[in-house]
């Protein structure tokens, strides 16, 4: 195989890998999993196809077992429709603040959203953001497998705070308190000790090194 052909082959592989491992767009998921917990297996498969990887073999601890302090999020923006539905939902962006209220550090922590506590679960969703730190957590329980949206918080020392943005989709009318929209509240869980997966970065680095090698060989 000539150097020029090898160079072209590496370029094609690199472009294919980039399109395969990188989320193409934000991906909305609804809480249509078993009994309103998590999302459905079909939605989880579609989210994986869109580039959102799974966290497996990691126990999810109840939110009240970890000393997180999570006040009501700040609503940053919203788009309210006249007759909301799952196909034509209300949308909003909120900023969440999470503080480690315990005495010890938390390493590689994830905040897991188990189910909505307000509104109709099957009409409440989260628009997972491409290129961000959202993933899905897979939890088998007996014959049933649950899939939960989760956001990476990272390492948190005692009293340390971190923030993240959530993009809401709600297919029903949102209640208001004065001029303030009341967004869904959630039953939450926590996963710790799972670093942010970065397989795409490693794969693309290896491919770029191979491409660079192919270019050098093509010049000789």
Q: What is the pLDDT of residues 20-48, one digit of tens each?
A: 444 446 899 999 999 999 999 999 999 99
Whole-model pTM? Answer: 0.80
| Alpha-carbon Rg for the chain in angstroms | 21
Percent of the chain with pLDDT over 70: 77
Residue with tokens 């959630």: 186
206: pLDDT strictly greater than 80: no
- Name, in order, each residue with C-beta under 8 angstroms of 136's C-beta and a sequence gap of 6 or more: 39, 44, 47, 48, 52, 53, 54, 55, 147, 148, 149, 150
The answer to whether residue 209 is domain-embedded is no
Supply the range of the domain harboring residue 187: 24-196
**So what's the pLDDT on residue 11?**
44
Over residues 89-113, mean pLDDT: 95
- The predicted pLDDT at position 20 comes to 42
Beta-strand (E) ranges in the chain?
Answer: 27-30, 54-55, 61-62, 68-69, 74-79, 90-100, 106-116, 124-128, 134-141, 144-156, 161-170, 176-177, 180-181, 186-191
Query: For residue 86, how many other CB atoms are within 10 A of its CB?
Result: 17
CATH number (domain holding residue 36): 2.60.40.290
Our count of domains for the chain comes to 1
Q: Quick one: pLDDT band at residue 69, thresholds 50, 70, 90?
A: very high
What b/e sequence results for 44-64 when a residue is b if at least 16 CB atoms lie within 10 Å of its CB, and e otherwise?
beebbebbbbbbeebebeebe
pLDDT at 1: 54
| Distance (Å, whole) CA 33 – CA 194 | 23
| CA atoms of 88 and 28, how far apart (whole Å) | 12
For residue 152, being part of any structural domain is answered with: yes
Q: What is the Cα–Cα distance from 133 to 174, expressed in whole angstroms?
A: 27
Asked which of 46-55, 151-160, 206-215 is least confident by mean pLDDT, the reply is 206-215
Query: What's the mean pLDDT in 54-64?
Result: 91
Higher pLDDT, 215 or 99: 99
Assess if residue 76 is contained within a domain.
yes
- Does the residue 117 lie in any domain? yes
Cβ 3 vs Cβ 220: under 8 Å: yes
Average pLDDT, the chain: 84
Q: Is residue 179 part of a domain?
A: yes
Least confident stretch, 2-6, 102-106, 143-147: 2-6
Residue 124 within any structural domain of the chain: yes
Residue 169: inside a domain: yes
The average pLDDT across 137-145 equals: 95
Asked whether residue 129 is domain-assigned, the answer is yes
Structure confidence by residue, pLDDT tens digits, 157-199: 999 999 999 999 999 999 999 888 999 999 999 999 999 866 5
In this model, does residue 211 exceed pLDDT 90? no
């Amino acid at each position: 195989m000539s150097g020029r052909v090898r160079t072209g082959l590496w370029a094609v592989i690199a472009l294919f890998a980039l399109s395969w491992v990188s989320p193409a767009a934000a991906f909305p998921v609804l809480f249509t999993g078993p009994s309103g917990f998590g999302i459905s297996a079909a939605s989880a498969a579609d989210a994986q196809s869109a580039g959102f990887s799974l966290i497996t073999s990691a126990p999810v601890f109840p939110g009240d077992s970890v000393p997180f302090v999570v006040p009501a999020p700040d609503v940053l923006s919203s788009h309210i429709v006249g007759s909301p539905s799952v196909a034509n939902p209300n949308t909003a962006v909120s900023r969440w603040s999470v503080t480690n209220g315990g005495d010890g550090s938390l390493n590689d922590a994830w905040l897991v959203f188990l189910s909505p506590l307000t509104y109709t679960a099957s009409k409440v969703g989260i628009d997972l953001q491409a290129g961000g730190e959202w993933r899905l957590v897979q939890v088998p329980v007996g014959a049933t497998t649950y899939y939960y949206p989760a956001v990476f918080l990272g390492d948190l020392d005692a009293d340390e705070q971190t923030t993240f943005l959530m993009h809401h989709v709600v297919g029903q009318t949102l209640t208001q308190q004065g001029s303030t929209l009341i967004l869904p509240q959630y039953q939450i869980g926590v996963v710790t000790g799972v670093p942010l997966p970065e397989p795409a970065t490693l794969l693309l680095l290896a491919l770029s090194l191979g491409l660079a090698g192919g270019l050098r060989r093509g010049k000789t």
